[in-house]
Amino acid sequence: MKNVHLVIPDLFLPQEVAAEACAGLKLPALEKLLARAQSVPLPAESLEAWLCGAFGVADQAIAAVTLRADGMEPGAAYWLRADPVHLRLQRDQLILHPDVRLAADEAAQLCARLNAHFAGAGLRFFAPHPQRWYLQLDAAPDMTTHSLAQVAGRNVHAHLPQGPDALRWHGVFNEIQMLLFEHAVNQAREARGELPVNSVWLWGGGRAAGRLLRPYTKLCGDSDLAGAFAQTAGIPCEPLPDDVTRCVAGDDGDVLIVQEGMRRALQHGDLHAWRDALQRFEQDCAAPLLHALHAGRIAQLTLDVLQTGASRRFMLTHGAAWKLWRRPKPLARY
């Protein structure tokens, strides 16, 4: 029998909002899974860190992984993700909005402008996907960065690059904003009532590693990032079907399921969307998988809940699933 590994960022909420956000939710399968499983702390605090650990990518060098999935070979160069974003001034803060939807020709024009300006500085921008841009460098910068997911919906000033080269890159950050602000593509977008791309976010830097590990035989879910890791590792990847048991049918090895719906909802500050994503997970994933575990079609369910400073792993075997004395408690209690 196979094992099924679930990974969900932001399933648990901070205490101050959890009770209200979870009020009225019916989550019998998820609450049974959490109550009857063995629980241990988990060192990975983010999906990015978890994927790098699972697939053997050192130093969270994510740009080279996703670049290959987007159809370009990283070679020996150093790469950063340089994702197009919108920064909105709110009082004295610059709040980052990710997922600005661009057409391919818009992305190409904006990158061309950046390349023309930085041609003599050893910076080369590429947009193999309109929402995923990349920056190629001749030498590795001595700085640390924060992932796009860490900064989404937050003030960028507390998350700018740090380290010996940080001041130089703060200057690059400012130059990019000025170049994009005046570009005709953004002026046309604003005229249509669309968000302009007025900055990029640099993160995930590193050089391409060797072959990625292949810890699973299949990936299902809604995560583009997890899909890029699977594609680069040569693992089949598909959206979660209406009947999740189709993902785990047969005896062809362990399955990874990654659900990002709750994380995306919180990035946009939308607790209603978080509730909707959680309810769908209960109905479409937790309930049928728990049933399959009870029926002996799955040997073990592992649920990794990723939270900053509080990630936990819950491991539920076929035998433990029948420990009825382990009474469920409301999700908000976690």
Model confidence over 225-259: pLDDT tens digits? 999 999 999 999 999 888 888 888 776 789 999 99
DSSP code at position 263: H
Over residues 169-203, the pLDDT tens digits come to 999 999 999 999 989 999 999 999 999 999 999 99
Residue 171 and residue 74 in one domain: yes
Q: What is the mean pLDDT of residues 57-63?
A: 95
Question: In this structure, are 141 and 250 located in the same domain?
Answer: no
User: Do 81 and 199 fall into the same domain?
Assistant: yes
Q: Which amino acid is at 42?
A: L
Do 89 and 202 sit in the same domain of this protein?
A: yes
Residue 61 has pLDDT above 70, yes or no: yes
Q: Is there a single domain that holds both residue 202 and residue 66?
A: yes
Final residue before a domain boundary, out of 206, 235, 267: 206
Band of the pLDDT at 326, cuts 50, 70, 90? confident
Q: Is the same domain home to 291 and 305?
A: yes
Asked if the model's pLDDT at residue 93 lies above 70, the reply is yes
* pTM, rounded to two decimals: 0.94
| Mean pLDDT, the chain, integer | 94
Domain count, the chain: 2
Q: What angle do CA 251, 257, 258 make, to 5 degrees?
A: 165
Cβ count within 10 A of residue 231: 18
Q: How many residues does the chain have?
A: 334
Percentage of the residues of the chain whose pLDDT score is greater than 70: 99
Residue where a domain stops, chosen among 189, 206, 223: 206
Q: What is the CATH number of the domain that holds 7?
A: 3.40.720.10
* 176 and 155 fall within a common domain: yes
Q: Where are the beta strands (DSSP E) in the chain?
A: 2-9, 38-41, 78-90, 93-97, 123-129, 132-137, 199-206, 218-221, 237-238, 255-258, 298-306, 312-317
Task: Name which of 32-46, 227-241, 309-323 the model is least confident about.
Answer: 309-323
Residues 153 and 290 both lie in one domain:
no
* % pLDDT > 90, the chain: 85
Banded model confidence at residue 324, pLDDT cuts 50, 70, 90: confident
Structural domain containing residue 85: 60-206
- What confidence tier does 121 reach under pLDDT thresholds 50, 70, 90? very high
**Are 26 and 111 in the same domain?**
no
155 and 64 in a common domain: yes
52 and 65 belong to one structural domain:
no
| 71 and 195 inside one domain | yes
Judge contact between 60 and 206, C-beta under 8 A.
Answer: yes
pLDDT-derived band at 1, boundaries 50, 70, 90: low
* Cα 133 from chain centre: 16
Among 206, 227, 249, the domain boundary falls at 206
* Beta carbons of 76 and 207 less than 8 angstroms apart: yes
The predicted structure's pLDDT at residue 5: 97
